[in-house]
Structure 1
Amino acid sequence: MKDLIKGHILSGEFDTAYRLMSEVDFLEFEEHFISAAHEEESTMFYTFILDSIKKEETSELHDLAFLLHVYPYSEHDGAFYSAYYHAERSMILTEYKEVKSLLQMLLLHAIPEPLLSDKQAFDISKQILKIDPDNKVARNIMKETAKRMDKVVVDFSQLSNSQNA
């Protein structure tokens, strides 16, 4: 499938690639798409995503654009800023209720030159823990950022109780 995706996208056959995307499980498409983009690193992959978003904006397409920018395109100037844009759109489209979208944003706090402040990362971690109280990534980031910010005390049991309210 990776070669099919790569062939259609690189030759500008977006309608065929779009049809293929809609016919298979999206996570399977995503895996092959990112793998193909790793091999070629052509901007045609991003052009395809933008064309798809133009037809129907979904959090899944923004998630795919995010992955494209943090993996195959990560060495390109501005890639993480584009990833930030797509992570933010995904969070908005999912009304800040999808853990995957929120975790993407936290990844941009973990890069060598973070795009989020500790406060932003703390708040996003708090939101994740309201949805998924056992999320280890959010717990760790909340603890780390709390240490750097005015020694905030994190009471995880209070977060769990607010979810049950």
Structure 2
Amino acid sequence: MHELIKKHVLNGEFESVKRLMSETDFMEFEEAYISSAHEVESIMFYTCILDMMKEEETAEMHDLAFLLLVYPLSEIEGALTSAYYHAESSIKLTDGKEVKSLLQMLLLHAVPEPVISDKKAFDISRRILKLDPSNNVARTVLKETAKRMDNVVVDINELNRIKNAH
């Protein structure tokens, strides 16, 4: 499938890519798609996703676009800012109830030149912990950002109460 995806994307055969996606488990497709994009690093992979989103915009497609922009295409000017757009769109489409979508934002905080502020990362971490009280990534980001934001105090007892309540 990997080679087929690469061939169809680079030839602009987006309908064939869409057909492959519909015939395959999405996670398997996503892995093959990202792997193909890593090999070639062509903007055509992003163009293909945008083309498919014209027909049906889903959180999964925004998540795939996000992955493309933060991994194989991250060196392209503006890629991380575009990734922010896709993470935000995924959050909106899932009403902020999908931890995966929220974690994408935290990844944009962890890059060498963060795309989101400490305050936004702090707020997103709190949202994640409400959905998944044992999420270590969110817990770590919450603590780190709180330390940097002088005026915010994190009550560890409150965090433990939230964790124990679930």
Give yes or no for TM over 0.5. Answer: yes
Q: Deviations over 1:21-74 (max 9, x none)?
A: 011111100000001001111111111100111000000000000000000111
Aligned residue type for 2:62? H
1:75 has 2:78 as partner = no
Aligned length: 163
Partner of residue 28, structure 1: 28
Distance in 1 between the 2:31 and 2:44 partners? 17
Partner of residue 5, structure 1: 5
Q: Give me the CA root mean square deviation.
A: 1.3
Distance in 1 between the 2:12 and 2:154 partners? 53
Aligned residue type for 2:81? Y
Distance in 2 between the 1:109 and 1:47 partners? 25
The 5 A counterparts of 1:34-113 are 34-113=34-113
Partner of residue 157, structure 1: 160
What stretches of structure 2 of length at least 5 have no aligned partner?
A: none
Q: Deviations over 1:110-159 (max 9, x none)?
A: 11111111111011000101111100000000000111112412321343
Distance in 1 between the 2:76 and 2:15 partners? 27
Aligned residue type for 1:34? I
Aligned residue type for 2:147? K
Distance in 1 between the 2:56 and 2:162 partners? 35
Q: Percent identity, aligned pairs only?
A: 66
Other structure's SS at 2:119 match: helix
TM-score, length basis structure 2: 0.94
Q: Deviations over 1:88-130 (max 9, x none)?
A: 0001101100000000000000111111111110110001011
What stretches of structure 1 of length at least 5 have no aligned partner?
A: none
TM-score, length basis structure 1: 0.94
Shift of residue 160, structure 1, vs aligned partner: 3.8
Q: Deviations over 1:75-95 (max 9, x none)?
A: 111110010000000011011
Aligned residue type for 1:159? I
